[in-house]
């Protein structure tokens, strides 16, 4: 398994390489930046390794990420392309709903968790890629999936190289 630093280095370079052609091919700059935001978020904060332990750089988010590390076994669901990404997005939506519930209950915000979930349901059921906001969300998710794919590839290549090294030199 690759170290966190190698994951970050390789992923950041790969993300930059992916973002360039998106802009060059004429994708709206804001939409291309949405891909980059999703990619960076999945690389630096909410990666397939979130299940191992919440990352130190996540600050206050550690509190919210810790239950994820209990629920998911490392290299299990979290390391499955698309499914792992969607599991983290779903987890994030549950955490947001709970946060809305608590903050609304304390009187700090006017939006309740049911308002949040109703709005999310409407957003999802009225999906129309022709609308800018749906393009942004779609490309954020594609960025997250791309970052996770890069992470998984680095893990597999690292494991393969270690096995090859052990066969050849031990």
pLDDT in tens, the chain (170 residues): 555 677 778 888 888 888 888 888 888 899 999 999 999 999 888 888 776 765 666 777 777 888 888 887 777 777 888 999 999 999 999 999 999 999 999 999 999 989 999 999 999 999 999 999 999 999 999 999 999 999 888 888 887 888 888 878 77
Query: Residue 82's pLDDT is what?
Result: 92
Distance (Å, whole) CA 32 – CA 20: 9
Q: Which among 6, 8, 35 has a CA at the least distance from the CA of 20?
A: 35
pTM for this one? 0.86
Residue 109's SS3 state is: coil
Task: For residue 21, count other CB atoms closer than 10 A to its CB.
Answer: 10
Which H or E run contains 117? helix 113-125
Q: Which among 15, 14, 12, 88 has a CA at the least distance from the CA of 50?
A: 88
pLDDT in tens, 75-115: 777 788 899 999 999 999 999 999 999 999 999 999 998 99
In the 8-state DSSP scheme, what is residue 170?
A: -
């Amino acid at each position: 398994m690759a170290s966190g630093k190698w994951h970050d280095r390789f992923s950041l370079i790969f993300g930059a390489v992916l973002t360039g052609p998106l802009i060059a091919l004429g994708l709206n700059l804001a939409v291309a930046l949405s891909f980059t935001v999703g990619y960076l978020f999945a690389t630096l904060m909410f990666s397939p390794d979130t299940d191992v332990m919440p990352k130190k750089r996540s600050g206050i988010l550690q509190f919210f990420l810790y239950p994820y590390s209990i629920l998911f076994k490392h290299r299990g669901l979290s390391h499955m392309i698309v499914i792992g990404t969607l599991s983290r997005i779903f987890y994030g939506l549950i955490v947001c709903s709970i946060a809305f519930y608590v903050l609304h209950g304390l009187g700090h915000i006017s939006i309740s968790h049911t308002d949040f979930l109703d709005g999310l349901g409407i957003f999802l059921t009225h999906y129309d890629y022709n609308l800018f906001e749906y393009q942004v969300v779609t490309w954020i998710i594609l960025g997250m999936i791309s970052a996770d794919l890069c992470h998984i590839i680095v893990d597999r290549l690292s494991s393969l190289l270690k096995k090859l090294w052990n066969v050849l030199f031990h």
